[in-house]
Amino acid sequence: MITIAVDCMGGDHGPQVILPACSDFLESHPEAHLLLVGLPEALKGFVHARATHVIATEVVTMHDPLEVALRKKKDSSMRVAVQQVKNDAAQAAVSAGNTGALMAISRYLLKTMDGIDRPAIAGQIPNATGGATMVLDLGANVDCTAEHLLQFAVMGSALVSVLGDKEAPLVGLLNIGEEVIKGNEVIKKTGELLRTAAKNGDLNFYGNVEGNDIFKGTVDIVVCDGFVGNVALKTSEGLASMIGSFLKAEFKRNIFTQFAAIVAYSVLKALKNRVDHRRYNGAALLGLRGLVFKSHGSADRMAFANALNRAYDAARNNLLDRVQVRIAHAAPLLAASAAPV
């Protein structure tokens, strides 16, 4: 039985979306149990044999400063959900709440793994193959050293090996060109470390990739700092929204475009599904001594259920152990690269 703690108060919609998503998840996962964390009045209408209510008295809002979320709201639904992982009452926690607060609370309660300096946010962006490219970091770390990026690559490899069932996923380093000589000094050093890591068997390194490779599906994993990664994520979400709006507008414009849309309905539906971020909702906070997944704040019922799916798969396949094994294998390289010259 895999137990997941759910922050039922987080995100733009809170319990009205999260609780129905939990119901869908439980129906499709007969070996799962949920700890539903929230205000008592928000949870009282939800009853399921494999769901337990865990009461919290406070809620972290999307606009709360980190100091308030971490130091003052100590009985928030977000913190209580993560605490269930800390107490070994749950194997994973899922929240759609404030990303910065979730990372701060998770890092404070769970601490980082040995060999990891900074946790990273790893999420999937739909690509042209019909699948998705794992990208990290998506915003937790704006400024990164080459050693941090190497850690991200190793952790991302463990994540994709679990969720994508690929023992040696292909890793690309995001750069302004494919050539080894391109990029700033951090990126050049990172490339050197990743090539050495590949020779040592720590990961499967493809080389430098460009932004369009994320959407082409050239590699399984793209490594970058959190500033660039967050821009790429928001760009992809904007592209998906633009395609949806364009299709709606063209369908309404006149009788000719309506007829064309009807004829091409199956193709248009396939395109819409391919760029639908809801299919890949649920970003992992990698590098912690416990599993925490971040759902998009605006997630609907389907999207939040998919975030629960990702947390369940990670727990069932022992993601923490796999990350630790890979980091331990790469430890000599990490120590050598961090040593003063």
Residue with tokens 């063209």: 250
pLDDT higher at 257 or 41: 41
Q: How many residues appear in the chain? A: 341
Cα–Cα dist 59/72, whole Å: 11
The pair of structure tokens assigned to 163 is 């969720």
How many helices and strands, by DSSP H and E, does the chain display? Answer: 13, 11
Residue 230: C-alpha distances to residues 50, 103, 135, 237, 338 (Å): 36, 15, 9, 11, 26
Judge whether 311 and 25 are in contact, CB under 8 Å.
no
All structural domains of the chain: 1-110 (3.40.50.10950), 114-281+321-341 (3.40.718.10)
Q: What are the tens digits of pLDDT across the range 68-104?
A: 999 999 999 999 999 999 999 999 999 999 999 999 9
Q: What are the tens digits of pLDDT across the range 215-267?
A: 999 999 999 999 999 998 888 777 666 666 666 665 666 666 666 666 665 65
Torsion sign (Cα): 328, 329, 331, 332: positive
pLDDT for the residue numbered 238: 73
pTM of the model: 0.89
The pair of structure tokens assigned to 40 is 């008592």
Q: In the predicted model, is pLDDT for residue 182 greater than 50?
A: yes
What lies within 8 Å, CB to CB, of 254 at 6+ separation is none
DSSP state of 113: P
Q: What are the tens digits of pLDDT across the range 120-130?
A: 999 999 888 88
Cα–Cα dist 21/249, whole Å: 30
The pair of structure tokens assigned to 94 is 């899922």
pLDDT for the residue numbered 264: 65
Q: What are the tens digits of pLDDT across the range 271-315?
A: 556 667 788 899 999 999 999 999 999 999 999 999 999 999 999
pLDDT for the residue numbered 74: 96
Cα–Cα dist 107/271, whole Å: 38
